[in-house]
Structure 1
């Protein structure tokens, strides 16, 4: 590998770590991530991913402190730091889903409620929820996912879908990048709020029909939409002091 290609790879990996850190900080700013939960990004060309240290505040994730972990949980970079206990969530999803480039595990309150109501399922209500047209399954293990076997079960329950609920525990979401994951998390929460508000009004939810979802999928401009919202949240986070102006400029360059 030439010096130029090595430098290019280093810059690419630095960008991935920065995007994961920014996504974590913005999710905290938006109330979708708190003292627990984690964002990871796949390392190109390796069976590995970057994830934050277990005890670092999610509001202050530092790209330079992120740990590289392989799918079996071995630390490849950052051995002086400890990754989250629930790394089997990430490793087994990446192993099962080569299309996935970023994984979020969080404890989105409204979404969790839908795992604790009899006969009520979270369904696509708002237009951006067409992202979950294939379904939003529930994985029934309410404990921390700390073993390979648990991770395999969760990955199997997620299947080909873009999100899964975890019974009385949390949510796992997957996407093609950390910025896309941020956008999906925002819309997932919006959709859960919409359905809950209908239920609280004493009315029967009317989810989007299959025909409506098909129309929405056909008209989707995902790359444009993700870029638009990523820039919006970058600017919002910069103004709030959640991320530095330098980070915002590097992402918008």
Structure 2
């Protein structure tokens, strides 16, 4: 049984990336980063590796200045998005950047802001701000500006571009991404029905109680097993992935 935390983290990133492709949240671009146990480095995929076939052995180790410490491949163009969010938010263990179509759509509608519509969207009760710069986040200045827009929120839309999302772990990040898409679809369904959206109120949000650790482990287990049965991820990854998920049970 492999308990190497670096190996577990690499398999989590690769598995989550493959599964997010299957969910239509990642495609030929976008990436997940995850802070390593030392707090000074993080793992991220290369710029060119296919997200749908990402292999743990090909992940890069990068420091907070964007220098590749381990691996001989080029990091993603938008590496600064990850370095600056991780630098600004020591509470964050993992970051997702993607180009979810519905997320982009909500940055293109005047006077309509994506709101928590479903119970699991309480994760974004503090708000989902929109970053005004639609260009690639390739410089530390741009990354710092995006981190400023994100603030202490758990997600931020990027005008005509996509979104950035944060969570405490890779499994939690994956689960949040699934719920974020569900929530955006629900909001859009109300708009398409020609009705006025009725997002969750502060009172309703206060009533919603859900043990996050248990929920993350439950969904991570479901999607991992589904991915294994469909040969999306190898069976040989199962021990470390399940071992990692078990740490979230409450």
SS at match of 1:49: strand
Is 1:38 paired with 2:31?
yes
Cα deviations across residues 72-92 of structure 1 (Å, max 9, x unaligned)?
Answer: 1111111x2101010001000
Task: Give the structure 1 partner of residue 82 of structure 2.
Answer: 90
Q: What does the per-residue CA deviation read over 1:123-170, in whole Å, with 9 as the maximum and x for residues that have no partner?
A: 000000000011000001101000000000000100000000000000
Following TM superposition, by how much is the alpha carbon of 1:220 offset from its aligned partner in structure 2, in angstroms?
1.8
Higher mean displacement: 236-245 or 114-123: 236-245
From 36, 58, 63, the counterpart of 1:65: 58
- The answer to whether residue 42 in structure 2 is matched with residue 49 in structure 1 is yes
Q: Secondary structure at the match of 1:143?
A: coil
How much does 1:249 deviate? 3.3
Deviation per CA, 1:201-227, whole angstroms, max 9, x where unpaired?
0000000000001111xx121000000
Aligned residues: 242
2:229 maps to 1:239 = yes
Give the whole-Å Cα distance in 1 for the aligned partners of 2:54 and 2:33: 12
Q: CA deviation at 1:245?
A: 0.9
1:21 to 14, 17, 20: 14
Does residue 133 in structure 1 map to residue 125 in structure 2? yes
SS of the residue 1:39 aligns to = strand
Counterpart CA distance in 2 for 1:18 and 1:251 is 7
Q: Does 1:206 align with 2:206?
A: no
Deviation at residue 53 of structure 1 after TM alignment: 0.7
Once residues 221 and 57 of structure 1 are traced to their aligned partners in structure 2, the CA distance between those partners, rounded to angstroms, is 34
* Corresponding residue SS for 1:204: coil
The residue matched to 1:134 in structure 2 has which SS?
coil
RMSD (Å), alpha carbons:
1.1
Q: Distance in 1 between matches of 2:188 and 2:90?
A: 34
How far apart are 1:48 and its partner, in Å? 1.5
Corresponding residue of 1:118: 110
Q: Tell me how far apart the structure 2 counterparts of residues 139 and 18 of structure 1 sit (CA, whole Å).
A: 31
TM-score by length of 2: 0.95
Question: How far 1:252 moved relative to its partner?
Answer: 2.0
Q: 2: CA distance between counterparts of 1:250 and 1:71?
A: 26
Whole-angstrom CA distance in 2 between matches of 1:175 and 1:245: 26
Q: Deviations over 1:12-58 (max 9, x none)?
A: 11111110110000000111100000001001224221000100000
* 4+ long deviations beyond 3 Å: none
Give 1:70 shift. 1.0
Q: How high is the TM-score relative to the length of structure 1?
A: 0.94
